[in-house]
Amino acid sequence: MGPINSASFFMCYDVKSGTLQLLKYAKHRSEDPSIIAELEAQLNKVSKEAAWKPLAHVKAFEHPSLLVFTNENPFNPQLFRWGLIPSWARDAEEAKSISTKTFNARLETAAEKPSFKDSLARKRCLIYVDAFYEFQHNGRKKAPHIISAPASDEPLIFAGLYSEWTDQRTGEFLQTTSIVTIKGIGKMAEIHNNPTLAEPRMPLFLSKEWQDIWLLNGNNPWSQDELNQYVERLSTKKLLQIGQNEDDILPDNQLALF
């Protein structure tokens, strides 16, 4: 077993999930009316699962179930536990230990990390959340920010990795996921400014148009040039709005991502 991503680079620990109308998730995944109708029906079934819980604010260390779409089933909504467990984990103790260190995967190094390299190549996913939380440092104080899509009733899409693991002793089968991150820039760099970290980080946000590009690109990981081009294209769009609490999430507070 090789090294796992250092916790010093993690950044996305707190999210809001499962609080929007199911139709909103369906329309974000496709613009085809027939696919939207089928997605809404599937989401309705998923919402009745025990693992589905509307979560106004949940921390990664609680290992909540997040809504995902995978490259193997791109239009089938599923619930995966946050905190990736690679298929090679030997037992429950090792799986539990790894899952507390894999909430986030650095895109720049994922291809080199034993926990992530197979997933980057073969098991990519989209992670749908309603918003996420970051804490901006100002001396000894931390100011919380809630970050959501420009329309507060729309989801955010994160690039994700996933894995499937079976406990050989009990037969328990787990599907788990990790949020892909890149270096934070612009407003996100200002907010994710923990002085103990080597650099600011942020989730790799996906526009609706780039969802399937991420899913289907597993055999050809994005080069740095391709990533830079994508980030440059995103810079012209308002993908986020940032507030210090729910009341701050208003149209006049919309900010460009970078």
| Cβ-based neighbour number of residue 118 at 10 Å | 16
Distance in angstroms (rounded) separating the CA atoms of residues 39 and 152: 21
- Dihedral of the CA atoms 256, 148, 58, 79 (nearest 10)? -110
Distance in angstroms (rounded) separating the CA atoms of residues 2 and 112: 10
**What is the reported pLDDT for 245?**
53
238: Cβ–Cβ under 8 A, 6 or more apart, which residues? 150, 254, 255, 256, 257
10 Å CB burial of residue 251 (0-12, 13-18, 19+) is exposed
Distance in angstroms (rounded) separating the CA atoms of residues 67 and 243: 24
pLDDT tens sequence for the chain (258 residues): 333 333 333 456 788 899 899 999 999 999 999 999 999 999 999 999 989 989 888 889 999 999 999 999 999 999 999 999 999 999 999 999 999 999 999 988 999 999 999 999 999 999 999 988 888 888 888 888 888 887 768 899 999 999 999 999 999 999 999 999 988 877 777 888 788 888 888 899 888 888 988 898 765 656 667 766 776 666 555 556 666 555 444 333 333 332
DSSP code of 36? H
Listing DSSP states for 82-110 in one string gives ES---TT--SHHHHHHHHTS-SEEETTTG
Distance in angstroms (rounded) separating the CA atoms of residues 237 and 246: 22
Calculate the alpha carbon distances from 58 to 34, 135, 218, 219, 227 in Å: 33, 14, 29, 33, 29
Please report the domains of the chain, with CATH numbers, ordered by start residue.
7-19+55-255 (3.90.1680.10)
Structural contact between residues 21 and 153, judged by C-beta atoms closer than 8 angstroms: yes
Calculate the alpha carbon distances from 196 to 3, 7, 107, 135 in Å: 21, 11, 21, 13
pTM of this structure: 0.86
Give the closest residue to 44 by CA, choosing from 71, 16, 15, 67: 67
**What is the reported pLDDT for 30?**
93
**What is the reported pLDDT for 220?**
60
**What is the reported pLDDT for 248?**
47
Residue identified by tokens 């990790």 is 178
Task: Pick left, alpha or beta for residue 210 (phi over 0 → left; psi -120 to 50 → alpha; otherwise beta).
Answer: alpha
Structural contact between residues 160 and 180, judged by C-beta atoms closer than 8 angstroms: yes
